[in-house]
Structures are given as structure tokens and as C-alpha cells.
Amino acid sequence: MHSNILPVLTSVATLLGLVQGQSQQPYRDWAKAYEAAETLVLPWTLEQQANISVRDGTAPGFVPFEPSDGVRSVQGSGKDYDNPAMRTSSNLDDRTLHELYLWPWIDGVANGLGSVMCVMNRVNGIIGCENDHIMNGILKNETGFRGFIVPDVTAPVDKAAGLLGGLGWNSGYSVSEIMAAVKNGSIPESVMTEHALRIVATQLNLLQPPEEYAFPVETADLNVRDPSSKDFIRRAGSESIVLLKNKNNTLPLRSPMSLGIFGKDAANLATGPTPQSDFSNFAGDTYDGHLITGGGSYSPAPYVVSPLDALTARAADGQGFGYKYILSDNWTVTPSESTGEGFFQTSGVSVSQYARESEHCLVFINAFGKEGSDRRTLADETGDKLVNDVADYCGSTIVIINNAGVRLVDAWIEHENVTVFTDLIPCSNQVHTNMFCFPGCPERRRSRQESGHAIVDVLFGDVNPSAKLVYTIAKSKDDYNGQICECCECDYTEGLYIDYRHFDQAGIEPRFEFGFGLCFKSDGRANIAAYTTFTHSDLTINPSTDITTLQPYATGPITEGGPSDLFEQILTISASISNTGGVAGAEVAQLYLSFPDAAKAPVRQLRGFEKVYLEPGETKFVSFPIQRRDLSIWDEQTSKWKIVGGKYGVVLGRSSRDFTVEETLELLTI
């Protein structure tokens, strides 16, 4: 892990008692890093300690640096960032904060996380970059975070509150302003010393020695692309495609003669290859071209292979098929009145004409979202109409969606000619692809610049899809319980019951549930790349400790991630996974736990998943180490992680609704 917002240590070897040029960086040990940091930092004057915490600051043994983020003026946005009331407040209870939103941060801290960016919005009424409870109380004290905190672009409004609340670098203050605040008693000296220690210790712990660390001027124009990386990107993209429908085993395509290609998402159109950064303005719910990323803080792709590019390459390679395309979402459906006579008669291009003439029709649609302006709909009427228009005239319609988040499909999913559907969803600012086929369906995530190749690899069976949905697709927007909150007090009234937890609790049948995804299966014909099937069996539970005398609370000393005993392994749950089909493929086995009624927890919660690659007839064993944390809830009365004694359900399955083997387990606390 490297941080490009840290200064570079230069002549510190003698201060550390090391031989010049033989630095021990990176320590990969917080205790040793802090010991070395104290040797460096404590002899500094307060002004020198403060200097390292400001933008472009310097300190003994350090050189100026250019950060990647920090305080900037926000011009022309139309938003009053200096007015706290205009910053949206995420209001949520303590249990929801810990069990849902803190959960992945615990993993990050436990694995050596070095820096964190505080949010520009408010949390329970207090600006994120001024929030003592979030930054100091929870992140540093509860999870044992040893690194430092940096601000999002708009930083705190009250700079002193930011420094006091835990913001360690680039509060917006100059050194002279910090010194004045210390002098008048607004900021204790100990606060600035802690920030300096955290910044230096993080660098010593995670960065390579100074003599190996390149300066920005040396790397600004350096080409670091590895030509082989495109193969990895392509494979990662194809393996992230989720197949949701595959009627009549339409996929993989078997020597097709003609393909119809429809929709603006099939090609690189208008501007590109990635959306323009624009944090303030609504850019629409769809993107005018092939979508590989959402908008916002992302790395622009150097190039993009669109589906049309990939299909062209495959057709040119002698694959035996031809294609026609209409790169529009609202093209004329039926032909216009013909003109001319005989040999000279013509009626123009139409969706119905190209659809009728194609053996398979590929419809590409998308749903765009970006930082600073969320999507406003869960479905696009224009895209839905395109799918239905093509399917009305084409007996094998394959729908591929690249979408930023959930996208409803009930306007066309049951059309008799929709054979395939795939879905691709962005993670962070990346895009996820879902494939649906009329008669079938796949879904795709994060293919980036090799997106087109990744999609086509799955369509033609070069890759057996194995990804699973990371959210629930409902039958109606009314099935979701989240409310759109534009401004400014946003109450998380759903609490723990988001996505599949809500659908389970409310007894709502989804269209496609969380964790769902198909794979190719054998159809018994020789030399046909078809999808396969998997079975789960032999579910076993092996306690690692006495589960009849468990302490209810995690009370161990705070280490990176939280109380040390929170990570104590209580159980090992294992099972066997078998490929019972005729072709190789990968299965994602998913482990869900249900808690005793007294825990007042969701019906089931995902507590592990394992992806295994299996040849036909092969069996492998998977195991899930279950820690105290996995069996705990957050007790708001004691502010501690707690195991509730009673019976726990253990289920292994293919999704949050498709279970294959089940067991029960009883935990007793003293």
C-alpha cells in the first residue's frame, strides 16, 4: 500500500540509529513504526510538528510534496458547502452503524489500513471531517486504527473542530493559524503531536525506503502499463458477468450465422472513452455510449473495447457470422413507406427489419450514475421499449445491461422471446453488466477497458460465467424500502434491513435475489461449450473452543480492528462442492447464519463465500472460519459486541434464497 499524499523521508537514517542507506522501511509492524516515528518527531518543535500536517508542508528530514487531494475551493457548483445545514446528514442508530457500515472498515483496519478519507456530508448532524465520535471515538478508539485521516475536497467548515475531531492532515489551516490556535488554547499541543506521529508512522510502516521512493517529477510521464494486464482485465471482466436468464440454453452461442446489434451501449459513441468528471450536475440516467464506469472520482480508461469492436474482431477472424447494427435506443421500429419500384424499391432501416433478419439479437442498454448526482429512476422507459421492440420481431433476444446499481427489468423479462439476460454493476465508480436472454440471461461487473471482449467471451462460451448478484433485483420499485433523500436530514429508518435482509423480513419475492447467478450446463452434445451444474453436501460444524461456556462480550485489549477476542475463531464450517455437469466451471458457495430470536437480527446474514473452480466430476471442500465477530450483534446498552446465547441456523446455498444444506447450532453464554 503506497500513499501519494505523504512527504518522502530523506535523511533520517542516522536519526533512526541505522546505517545510511539501510533503512528498515517498510516496517509492516505498527509498534516498530511508532517507535521509530517517536524518535523522529518528538525532538521537533511544535511548529515543525504542525508543519507536516498542512498542505505542501515540510519538516526536518522531509521535502515538500504534492498531494492528490485536499482543501480546494468549489467553484460554480451552486452548492453552499460552507453552510453545514446544506450538507446532507446521514442519521442512523448505533447498531446499524456498527453491524452494517463499520463492518468493512473493521476488515480494513485489521489488515493494516494506513489512511482514511473523512466524508464531506454530516453524520448524525455533525460534519464528517469534524466528527469526534466517528473519527476518534469509533475509528481510532474502537477499531484501533493506527494511521491518519485526510479530508474530502470540501474539508471541515470549522478547521479547529476538524483537528480536534481526528482529522490529521490538510485541515485547511496554515502553520501560523495552527500556532495561533495552540497559543489561544483552541488546540492542545498534544493533538498536533499525535497527528505528526500518525503521519510519520504510517509512512514508515507502509512505504519503501526513501532511496527507493520515486519523486513525482520522475514518474509523471512514465509508462507503467504492462501489456499482459489487458488479458487479466479481460478475464476479470468475463468472470464478473452474472448470467440471470438462459432460456432454451441459448448461450453459449453455437456457430451463429447472423447477429443483430441494438442500442447505444454497444459502441463507443459521442465522447469518451469514459464519462467526463462532473460532480455537480445531473448527467441523465443513461450514458450515450458503452458504459464501463460511473462518473466521479475514478481513473479514466486509456482505451475501451466496445462490444461492437469485439464482435467485429471475432467476425473478421473467420467465426462465420455477419452482423447488422442500430446504435440507437429509439430508432424507427417499423419501416417507413417504401419508395421506388422493383429493383429500386427501398424502405429504409428499421428495428423490425434487422430483428427479423437476425438469428440472435443483442440488445445493449445501460443505467448511469455518478458522484454528486444520483440516478433518479430504477428503470429507463426508452431502454425498456427498445428491448420489447426488438423482442417482438426476434425469436432469440439477448439483453446485456451495464448499470450503476439496481435496474428493474420487469417491463420485458417475461417476454417470450427474451432468452438471455446479463447484468453488470459498478463497484465504487465502476459498472456492472447484467445479461438477459430472450430465451436467456448474463450479468457483468467491472470489465473496464476490455469490456467488449469480456462480454463476447461469455456469449460464445470461451468463459463459463460464475459471478453472482451483489444486490436484489425487485419486481417493482415499491418492493424496496429505501427512500430517496435529496436534502438534508436523511434518516436511515430501514436500519439493518437493507437489500436481501429487507426482502426476507418482509416476505417479498424478488425477481432475482442477492447472490443469484447461473452458469452454463451440459446439454449432452459433444464438442459443445455449455454451462454446468453443482451440488453441495457434507455440511459439518467443528467448534474451535467450548461453545457451551462462551463469554457474551468481546472484552479483549484493543488491537487493529477492535477487541482482540472479536477475531477469535469459534467455529469452522465446511462442506463439499461437486461439479455434476459436463464442463468445467466455478461455483460460489455462500454461507448464511440465522440468529436466535433474542438477538432481533435479520432472518439470515451472509457470513462467508468461497469460489471454487471444478472440472467435470470433480469435488472440492470449502471451509469457512467463523469468528466471534460473525456470531455477534452490537449491544447499544453496553456499547460492546455481544454473542446472544441460543440456537443458530447454518445454511449453505447458491444464493440468499436457494439453500442446499442446513444445520443448527446452539451457543451457550455464561
CATH number, domain with residue 374 = 3.40.50.1700
d(CA 69, CA 390): 46
pLDDT at 80: 55
Whether residue 95 sits in one domain with residue 156? yes
Residue 143 has pLDDT above 60, yes or no: yes
Q: With beta carbons less than 8 A apart as the criterion, state whether 148 and 118 touch.
A: no
For residue 620, give the CATH number of its domain: 2.60.40.10
Number of domains in the chain: 3
For residues 164 and 187, the answer to whether their CB atoms sit within 8 Å is yes
pLDDT digits (tens, 9 = 90+) for 506-565: 999 999 999 999 886 544 333 333 467 899 999 999 999 999 999 999 999 999 999 999
Considering the domain architecture, whether residues 175 and 29 belong to the same structural domain is answered as yes
**Residue whose entry in the numeric block shows the C-alpha cell 509512512:** 203
| 488 part of a folded domain | no
Whether residues 185 and 245 fall in one domain: no
Would residue 397 count as lying in a domain?
yes
Shared domain check, 288 and 358: yes
CATH number at residue 167: 3.20.20.300
Q: Which of the four pLDDT bands, split at 50, 70 and 90, describes residue 420?
A: confident
pLDDT of residue 451: 94
Give one DSSP letter per residue of 421-470, joined into a string: EEEE--STTB-EEEEEEEBEEEEEE--GGGHHHHHHHHHTTSS------S
**Number of H helices and number of E strands within the chain?**
15, 25
**For residue 69, pLDDT beyond 70:** no
225 found inside a domain: no
In a domain, 480, yes or no: no
Helix (H) or strand (E) holding 77: none
Radius of gyration of the chain (CA): 28
| Same domain, residue pair 378 and 408 | yes
Host domain of residue 587: 534-667
371 and 309: one domain? Answer: yes
Question: Do both 423 and 567 map to the same domain?
Answer: no
At 381-403, the pLDDT tens digits run: 999 999 999 999 999 999 999 98
Task: Give the model's confidence band at 210: pLDDT under 50 very low, under 70 low, under 90 confident, else very high.
Answer: low
Residue 537, beta-bridge partner list? 576
- The least confident of 1-5, 411-415, 490-494, 631-635 is 1-5
15: pLDDT strictly greater than 50:
no
Residue 558 lies in a domain: yes
361 and 456 within one domain? yes
Q: pTM for the complete prediction?
A: 0.88
Tell whether 542 and 600 lie within a shared domain.
yes
Q: What is the pLDDT of residue 562?
A: 97
All three cell numbers of 605, joined, read: 446474514
Most confident among 166-180, 282-296, 357-371, 385-399 (mean pLDDT): 385-399
User: Does residue 584 sit in the same domain as residue 639?
Assistant: yes
Residue at 592 is within a domain: yes
Confidence of residue 209 (pLDDT cuts 50, 70, 90): low
Mean per-residue pLDDT of the chain: 85
Q: Is residue 583 part of a domain?
A: yes
Q: Which of 178, 211, 244 is the last residue of a domain?
A: 211
**Residues 599 and 634 reside in one and the same domain:** yes
Spatial contact of 652 and 513, defined as CB atoms under 8 Å apart = no
- Of all residues in the chain, the percent with pLDDT exceeding 90 is 63
Distance CA 512, CA 503 (A): 11
Contact (Cβ atoms closer than 8 angstroms) between residue 199 and residue 148 = yes
Amino acid 339: pLDDT: 62
Q: Do residues 538 and 590 share a domain?
A: yes
Report how far residue 582's alpha carbon sits from residue 213's, in angstroms, rounded to the nearest whole number: 51
Within a domain: 474: no
Rounded CA-CA distance 446/431 in Å is: 5
Catalytic residue ranges: 152
Which residues, listed in sequence order, are joined to residue 155 by a DSSP beta bridge?
A: none
Helix or strand or coil: residue 192? helix
Q: Is the pLDDT of residue 445 over 80?
A: no
